[in-house]
């Protein structure tokens, strides 16, 4: 478990470095377009500021665009008590609790750190899960909080947004810039255009890689917290038959959810590991938990 957490931290550094390389590459392209490396510095600074703003707003945005409504204990006593007990067990601050009116069974955690964390569940999840299974799902989400996956998600959210904004801006610059156009290497211009198209795709793939990698760890963390890996496996089994895309879908926050909230995707574009593989790992390691 602790080896997995350490490996996750190392991989996160690598992943963040890839994001920064993409932004640096886009900045270098901007400098080439205008034949001014000062533009490169400006682009990187603007992207960093944009990513920072997104970092602080992302949690509120994720809750808002998914229609999450904050509740108090009297609104859903059992749900609130489960989260409260898990927070006490893990030694974490009590997160804010939200409910999303959606028949799709799902949940997610967000925030910059445990002090600013929020946990949201759909009405669909509450309807099909018994108390034991609901506890297991929420323990998984609290695992994301404990492991600081929510922080990584917020950083990735901000950087993906910054890369998308930069790529869109640079495409406009590429086609509108007339300065020294005749002196520019056509091959490099074509290479730059391809790079602009691929950069947001690459950033999204990195974000999805973060999500898939961390779901296994959150499953293990949740199972260790409850000492009941079979409950989480049973919850995942239910998703195989009752799972469905959410009515309010947003690709930018899909990787934060307990299971894929969008239509099914395959290969590198999957937001989550396969349910069968998650169930297999839980049951295989049940005796170690």
Q: Are 27 and 41 contacting, i.e. CB atoms less than 8 angstroms apart?
A: yes
Given a contact cutoff of 8 angstroms between Cβ atoms, the answer to whether 119 and 107 are in contact is yes
Helix 149-176 × helix 2-34 angle, to 10°: 10
Instruction: Single out the residue of 79, 119, 133, 97 nearest to residue 242, CA to CA.
Output: 133
Residue 257's nearest CA partner among 153, 160, 159, 162 is: 153
Tell me, yes or no, if 141 is annotated catalytic.
Answer: yes
Query: What number of other Cβ atoms are within 10 A of residue 138's Cβ?
Result: 29
Torsion of CA 112, 114, 116, 121, to 10 degrees: 100
Q: Which of 61, 84, 133, 141 is catalytic?
A: 141
Beta carbons of 151 and 132 less than 8 angstroms apart: no
Would you give the DSSP letter of residue 111?
A: -
Q: State phi, psi for 271 to the nearest 5 degrees.
A: -85, -25
Which of 66, 24, 75, 71 has its CA nearest to residue 258?
66
Q: How many CB atoms lie within 10 A of CB 124?
A: 21
Q: Which residues are catalytic?
A: 141
């Amino acid at each position: 478990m602790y080896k997995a957490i350490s490996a996750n931290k190392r991989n996160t550094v690598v992943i963040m470095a890839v994001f920064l390389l993409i932004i640096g590459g886009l900045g270098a392209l901007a400098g080439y377009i205008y034949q001014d490396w000062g533009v490169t510095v400006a682009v990187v600074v603007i992207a960093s500021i944009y990513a920072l703003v997104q970092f602080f707003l992302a949690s509120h945005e994720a809750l808002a665009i998914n229609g999450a409504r904050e509740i108090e204990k009297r609104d859903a006593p059992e749900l609130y008590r489960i989260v409260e007990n898990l927070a006490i067990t893990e030694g974490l601050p009590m997160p804010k609790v939200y409910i999303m009116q959606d028949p799709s069974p799902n949940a997610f955690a967000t925030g910059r750190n445990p002090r600013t964390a929020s946990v949201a569940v759909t009405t669909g999840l509450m309807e099909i899960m018994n108390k034991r299974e609901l506890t297991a799902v929420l323990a998984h989400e609290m695992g994301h909080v404990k492991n600081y996956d929510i922080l990584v998600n917020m950083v990735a959210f901000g950087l993906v947004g910054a890369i998308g904004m930069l790529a869109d801006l640079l495409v406009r610059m590429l086609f509108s810039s007339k300065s020294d156009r005749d002196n520019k290497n056509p091959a490099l211009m074509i290479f730059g255009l391809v790079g602009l198209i691929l950069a947001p795709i690459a950033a999204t793939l990195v974000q999805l890689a973060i999500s898939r990698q961390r779901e296994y760890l959150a499953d293990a963390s949740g199972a260790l917290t409850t000492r009941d890996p079979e409950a989480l496996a049973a919850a995942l089994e239910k998703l195989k038959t009752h799972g469905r895309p959410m009515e309010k879908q947003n690709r930018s926050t899909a990787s934060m959810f307990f299971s894929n909230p969008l239509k099914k995707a395959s290969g590198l574009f999957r937001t989550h590991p396969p349910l069968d593989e998650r169930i297999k790992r839980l049951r295989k390691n049940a005796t170690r938990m």
